[in-house]
Chains A and B, each alone.
Chain A
């Protein structure tokens, strides 16, 4: 084994232990389990830095954090699924004995044989583990996909179709009392007449040209192509605004982690 990785590993381990000791000392007197608290803070800081180390390149510390994260989360969600769905929701509604066994409150009033339908579908889903009866698992999959698609069909038609149409029914000449009146009251206020008229116009043209861009049955040539190009420009401007807005949100997440490192862990800022 090369010497450099060993030295780095030893250095990181030493830093980890030192941090643990210093954090434990800083918690002494304020927390009952100060050694454990010191370990938790140090581990959280170590894992944060291990994930950040990915910015340099793939390395053993990132691999360790990644595998720990994936393993713990997979186990956590499986356990949560069992205890919240099967034990928490199903058993109290179907069996008093099993409720006593798992020590969860039995709910006699909610007892209903319909709960056995998802149980049956769940068992069918597990059939894919069998090479002989694996085909049975397609039934619950078809049920899940079919019912949700049917349910969403009506929902999307309402929200993405009808409501979108009615949202474009807007007056272009808002509060119009003639050209003289319009020019004498010209203002760039965001709630002013000029801006409202312009925004309504952009809204309508944006919807119109955007829809033309998403028209797949005709080649985008001539006037149709020009409208399509306006549509993609409007889309790109929208995406740019959305990008900037989301990046601002992401920076607040980064600030959160840096605050943890410099305030809670290193205590460099108050």
Chain B
């Protein structure tokens, strides 16, 4: 009987213990699953580095790494890399305040009836925001307490770097403060985003702006060389050295064209194009206009200068006025010689074309920046029977002037013409400097060609401008 009771007790224990065993199997299974994940996780990236981007105004960090061994390869193929930045929880408060400031600002812009209340709210929220932003650097320095890693970007497989470019202004959600400790991590991620492997954490790294952009060293060298050449030749021209400038066909023709207009008793039309007063071609055009106006004043011929830009009109009036004064004909100057038409491209063309057909100018001079209107103007001038001289640095418009005008100054000839006509030391000096710069350019082009053919990349890299 006693044995029977023991047997029943054992059976009960076995039956009662069965669920317990079953429960114990679960953790075993979970562990097996975890092992399975661990087994299928891709190889993590290695050699993670983070540094300031450099040659910028700050607010940017470059993170680089060596690719995972499973990068776009095999069953555990890594399809992308995700970059994480450790951010303190303070950012949640910052975002709340940022939203408050934004809401108040939107209400102020919308001119709500209760705008006074919103103005108070705006100031209050802005003050709190400014205060809390002061503690941001300290919050970052408290790593790893009180924060978490957040995703800041991703790159596809095969790429081994990521530029984390933040915003400069703290009103933006992507604000990245300078001189603050950042910690990054890079995850190698498979097609199943749950299956990933993390890199070691890299940091602290700080971003900051640079005063000097070393990527533009070649430009600095060019500025110094060109500046030196200009100063040197301007000084020589001022000392009275004869600086030779070869004759330019189109400019030689200007004097004849003015004479022709005088003989025919018909006006000269001078068009400065659509450029602004700051365009190099327009500045060159002012010099040529000065020369033309001086001769026009001497010969007492009529000059018509319709302009597209009000500033160009103002400068043009000054130029013509001083030319009339230089010619000793200040009394003959009329400020309506240079007048404003309109700032609409084709309306301007329509007006100038109308002038050409009604006033029948003997000479049309187009000097400056021209666009689609070049052929419309030159063709009408040709129909009107005028001698036409043109000059522009707009490469796309030069062909139209060549086919429709008697003389055309191609590109840099326009700048040279202003120096050739003006004979001023500053202009002659800069023209000479340009010529020597071109000579240097030719020498470098030949040397570069040889270097490129010999794979001597050190030389070619000297001219590489970045950013």
B445 interface neighbour in A163, A168, A235, A250, Cβ under 8 Å: A168
Q: Which of A103, A125, A168 has the most CB of B within 10 A?
A: A168
Count of A-B contacts judged by CB separation below 8 Å: 185
CB of A1 to closest CB in B, whole Å: 20
- Evaluate whether A171 and B350 lie within 8 angstroms (CB atoms) in the complex, with A77-B344, A158-B465, A165-B463 already known: no
A169 touches B463 (CB 8 A): yes
Is B155 in the interface zone, CB < 8 Å from A?
no
B347 touches A173 (CB 8 A): no
Q: Fill in one digit per residue for B445-467: 1 if any A CB lies within 8 Å of its CB, else 0.
A: 11011011100000010011100
A125 touches B314 (CB 8 A): yes
Q: A106 contacts which chain B residues (CB < 8 A)?
A: 108-109, 111
Q: B436 contacts which chain A residues (CB < 8 A)?
A: 217
Interface stretch of the complex, out of B135-143, B158-166, B394-402: B394-402
Is B188 in the interface zone, CB < 8 Å from A?
no
Is B246 in the interface zone, CB < 8 Å from A?
yes
B353 touches A54 (CB 8 A): yes
B222 touches A162 (CB 8 A): yes
Is B412 in the interface zone, CB < 8 Å from A?
yes
Complex Cα–Cα for A73 and B248 (A): 38
B246 touches A173 (CB 8 A): no
Q: Fill in one digit per residue for B427-455: 1 if any A CB lies within 8 Å of its CB, else 0.
A: 00001100111110110111011011100
A76 touches B344 (CB 8 A): yes
B399 touches A168 (CB 8 A): no
Complex Cα–Cα for A162 and B222 (A): 8
A66 touches B354 (CB 8 A): yes
Q: Fill in one digit per residue for A60-99: 1 if any B CB lies within 8 Å of its CB, else 0.
A: 0011011001101110110000000000000000000000
Complex Cα–Cα for A137 and B316 (A): 13
Q: A32 contacts which chain B residues (CB < 8 A)?
A: none
Q: B280 contacts which chain A residues (CB < 8 A)?
A: 149, 152, 156
A216 touches B246 (CB 8 A): yes
A214 interface neighbour in B342, B351, B411, Cβ under 8 Å: B411
- Evaluate whether A74 and B357 lie within 8 angstroms (CB atoms) in the complex, with A66-B351, A145-B278, A246-B399 already known: no
Q: Which residue of A lies closest to B402 (CB)?
A: A239
Interface of chain B residues 218 through 257 with chain A (CB within 8 A) = 218-219, 222-223, 226, 243-246, 248
Is B337 in the interface zone, CB < 8 Å from A?
no
Is A130 in the interface zone, CB < 8 Å from B?
no
Query: Chain B: interface secondary structure?
Result: helix
B109 touches A166 (CB 8 A): no
Complex Cα–Cα for A218 and B412 (A): 15
Interface stretch of the complex, out of A11-19, A21-29, A188-196, A203-211: A203-211
Complex Cα–Cα for A105 and B420 (A): 53
A149 touches B395 (CB 8 A): no
CB of A193 to closest CB in B, whole Å: 15
B222 touches A208 (CB 8 A): no
Complex Cα–Cα for A165 and B354 (A): 45
B110 interface neighbour in A73, A105, A154, A218, Cβ under 8 Å: A105
Chain A contact residue count (CB 8 A cutoff): 70
Is A172 in the interface zone, CB < 8 Å from B?
yes
Q: B226 contacts which chain A residues (CB < 8 A)?
A: 157, 161
A51 touches B350 (CB 8 A): yes
Is B205 in the interface zone, CB < 8 Å from A?
no
CB of A170 to closest CB in B, whole Å: 6
Q: A162 contacts which chain B residues (CB < 8 A)?
A: 218-219, 222, 463, 465
Is A242 in the interface zone, CB < 8 Å from B?
yes
Q: B460 contacts which chain A residues (CB < 8 A)?
A: 166, 169
A58 touches B277 (CB 8 A): no
Q: Fill in one digit per residue for B340-372: 1 if any A CB lies within 8 Å of its CB, else 0.
A: 011110111011011001100000000000001
Q: B277 contacts which chain A residues (CB < 8 A)?
A: 141, 144-145
CB of A152 to closest CB in B, whole Å: 7
Q: B400 contacts which chain A residues (CB < 8 A)?
A: 243, 246
Complex Cα–Cα for A41 and B242 (A): 65
B344 touches A69 (CB 8 A): yes
Is B311 in the interface zone, CB < 8 Å from A?
yes
- Evaluate whether A166 and B464 lie within 8 angstroms (CB atoms) in the complex, with A58-B358, A69-B347, A215-B435 already known: yes
Q: Which residue of B lies closest to A170 (CB)?
A: B452
- Evaluate whether A74 and B344 lie within 8 angstroms (CB atoms) in the complex, with A107-B109, A216-B245 already known: yes
Complex Cα–Cα for A169 and B447 (A): 8
Inter-chain pairs besides A70-B344, A108-B122, A162-B222, 15 sampled, C-beta below 8 Å: A57-B357, A63-B354, A69-B346, A70-B351, A128-B314, A144-B277, A144-B311, A158-B222, A166-B465, A170-B452, A212-B442, A215-B435, A216-B246, A236-B402, A250-B375
Listed from nearest, the 3 A-B pairs whose CB atoms lie closest are: A148-B278, A73-B344, A169-B448
- What are 13 pairs between A and B in contact, CB < 8 Å? A74-B343, A105-B111, A108-B122, A141-B318, A144-B276, A165-B445, A169-B445, A169-B451, A216-B248, A216-B431, A217-B431, A242-B395, A250-B372
Residues on A lying within 8 angstroms of B by beta carbon are 51, 54, 57-58, 62-63, 65-66, 69-70, 72-74, 76-77, 100, 103, 105-109, 125, 128, 137-138, 141, 144-145, 147-149, 152-154, 156-158, 161-166, 168-173, 204, 207-208, 211-212, 214-220, 235-236, 239-240, 242-243, 246, 250
